[in-house]
Structure 1
């Protein structure tokens, strides 16, 4: 039995025990009121001292019917009472109450997620993606069908749910319709194809990135709906070759991409309709002198990429500016691009 199933079973036993004691007390109270014509308080008192076997005397002498009812209450109720005490003690001492509370907290946080990413698969790749997103303060949730991986993700402080990421209900639980993007990082290409197909059908405008091991899987993942496909071995091969031939450049790029070093980030921003940047040239905006931001690329609305935009090039709405800068400066550019502030 999985740990989640054990937790549900323990919670069910706890709930049944509490309900059983409540019904026992109610039954005993009603019985004494009906058979012995006792008041509500006297009947409740008699029921509690009888079930708890504390040995106090009766409120008043019982007739034969009352004595028989008391014996039945002792025999039938004492076992239930002490079973309930044991269940309550086990529930709290074993920490199952804490696990249940954490599960409820996890579900509440999931319902609050918006514009987040869904990581499907918490293996080595999924774990690395999660660490990078946490470093960038990007909200996300992990889905994995192995409870050990889910618990490991939760131990790291991540939101995680157990289930098949190709299942529509599981993706709905992860807030797919409110999500910004999805990373298909399951252990094999076939799983990732099904995940991408399901996610694309549920949300046509979702941004999807998928991993692939085999060259033949890249085209299948793209046809399934993935915008980007990462070929792990191909990427690793290029990286290792660069480390051999251009180690200084690779070291610089490592430093640049690490938010803890130099406090520099590479980012891209879509220029909105109301942005004060629209209609101005890069020379007029002068991001370097005004905001200490280096422009390293500009993508036109039609998708054409200019790796070194000319100073006279005009910034268009729905264009994308690719830049390098410090986090605080980039936040200012983000607001400029979205039209939230004026220069």
Structure 2
């Protein structure tokens, strides 16, 4: 899977526009060369053929010149001298065009720009998916369980290494810097999502994500972890439909194990 980057591809877009500008310049130079070659061949053509015929022959020879496919053995000395000069200019123009265009589209920022364009097309049809915010151990476990259950998972992270791991695991990924993470949520198609699961260890960040996600889609089921009953209340007021307190779950699991062991020894 590819990664949608919120803030990185801007330079890639600039580079793509610059490549297109250079490509237009290179094409313009080639067209200018064709026009000059055609004009020169028309001037040097001493035949009595009609103007239209001489023009077509000149254009044909000029195109053959730029593609190096022509056979100019029937030319006189002046025409051959002109073609030699034109061939030299053609090689210079071609070398200039190659030097200006080669490499500009191979940078990481351009690759990210292209990935974003592909991901945007995927987002247009994305629906009924589960958004997982964070991809540490808890986020990885939840995303993997959802994937095994046949769900489409969209992972939102602020760390590049986590984004790479999530993409390698086959998930759709949005990578965003923490200060613009609200943009990540806006790109996550929450209006069409099935649910959102918050898994980061930062309680304040979880509260902010829950609040913004609820504002974007008030009917969206939001599951978030809470450190205590006060945090649970805050998350529920922010829009969380389910808050899991880890200590309570761990305590219940340990009590169940203790009960089983007590029954076994009685």
Q: TM-score under structure 1 normalisation? A: 0.56
Provide structure 2 residue ranges, at least 5 long, that are not aligned to the other structure: 43-54, 262-266
Q: CA deviation at 1:76?
A: 4.6
* Residues 108-117 or 146-155, more deviating: 108-117
Partner of 1:205: 219
Q: CA deviation at 1:35?
A: 4.6
Q: Tell me how far apart the structure 2 counterparts of residues 186 and 35 of structure 1 sit (CA, whole Å).
A: 71
3-state DSSP class of the match of 1:187?
coil
Structure having the larger proportion of residues in helix: 2
Q: Tell me how far apart the structure 2 counterparts of residues 147 and 95 of structure 1 sit (CA, whole Å).
A: 13
Q: Tell me how far apart the structure 1 counterparts of residues 213 and 130 of structure 2 sit (CA, whole Å).
A: 12
The answer to whether structure 1 residue 162 and structure 2 residue 181 are counterparts is no
Q: Tell me how far apart the structure 1 counterparts of residues 65 and 254 of structure 2 sit (CA, whole Å).
A: 81
The answer to whether structure 1 residue 32 and structure 2 residue 46 are counterparts is no
Partner of 2:124: 111
Query: Higher relative contact order at CA 8 Å, sep ≥6: structure 1 or structure 2?
Result: 2
Count of aligned positions: 240
What is the Cα-based RMSD across aligned positions, in Å?
4.3
Partner of 2:12: 8
**Structure 1 residue aligned with 2:259, among 221, 242, 245?**
245
Partner of 2:48: none
The answer to whether structure 1 residue 79 and structure 2 residue 93 are counterparts is no
Provide structure 1 residue ranges, at least 5 long, that are not aligned to the other structure: 248-343
3-state DSSP class of the match of 2:219?
coil
Q: CA deviation at 1:75?
A: 3.6
Q: TM-score under structure 2 normalisation? A: 0.69
Q: CA deviation at 1:219?
A: 1.9
The CA deviation string for residues 206-234 of structure 1, in whole angstroms up to 9 with x for no partner, is 11111233554222211111111122233
Partner of 1:196: 210
Q: Tell me how far apart the structure 1 counterparts of residues 229 and 8 of structure 2 sit (CA, whole Å).
A: 38
3-state DSSP class of the match of 2:128?
coil
The CA deviation string for residues 291-336 of structure 1, in whole angstroms up to 9 with x for no partner, is xxxxxxxxxxxxxxxxxxxxxxxxxxxxxxxxxxxxxxxxxxxxxx
Q: Tell me how far apart the structure 2 counterparts of residues 59 and 242 of structure 1 sit (CA, whole Å).
A: 99
Q: CA deviation at 1:9?
A: 7.2
3-state DSSP class of the match of 1:87?
coil
